[in-house]
Structure 1
C-alpha cells in the first residue's frame, strides 16, 4: 500500500468525528467559509477551528484566505486513499467468503451422496 499506517490512521481518524464528517459532507456541495461551516454547530469557534485544522492537516481540505474570510475546499484525493484501503479490505473479505461458500457447498455435496458401501 502506498500510504503509511500513520497517514491512513489520520484519514480514518478525520472521518471518526461526526462534526468533521458533516463539514466534509457540506464541502461536497462546494467551497464554504469557516463561518458558513461553523453555523450549524453549537460550539465555540476555537473548538470548531480544531476540526478544521485537523481536516487540513490530514489532507481532507485546503483553506485559503480571501480578504478577511477563510474559505475551505475539499481535496478529493483523500477519498481515493480511503477508498483504496476499503477496496483492498473488500477484496480480501470477498475472497474469504467465497472460499467459505465453496467449502460449505462442497461439504454438503459430499454429505448428501449415498454411501457406496450401503449399496453393495
Structure 2
C-alpha cells in the first residue's frame, strides 16, 4: 500500500531508486515511477500481480544468461579466427615454400629494380 509506505517511497525517490507500486484509487501515484493500477487490499490481486512480475524477472534473467553465453561464444570464435591464418595468408605461405612469387609482389619487385637504374627523364615508374 503506497499510503502506508510513504516513508519508503520518499527515501527511494531521494536515492534515485525506481519505485514500482500497486496504486489503488485512494492513493496518490505522483511519487511512483512505475504505477500498477490495481486493488492493493485484495490478497489474490497482489498475488496475481507478483506472480507476473516474478515470471518477467525470471525471463529477463534467462535472456541475460543466453546473451552472455552468446557473447562468450563469439569471443571464443574471434580468438580462434585470430589464431588461424586466413586463406590468403595460407596461400602466400604455400607459394613462398614452393618458390613462386605472387603477381603483385613481382610487379613491386620489378618497379623497385627499374627505379634504381632508371633516370627520372627516361621512365616513369608509377605508370
Measured against the shorter chain, the TM-score band is 0.3 to 0.5
Which structure would you say has the larger RCO, counting Cα contacts within 8 Å and 6 or more residues apart?
1
TM-score normalised by length of structure 2: 0.37
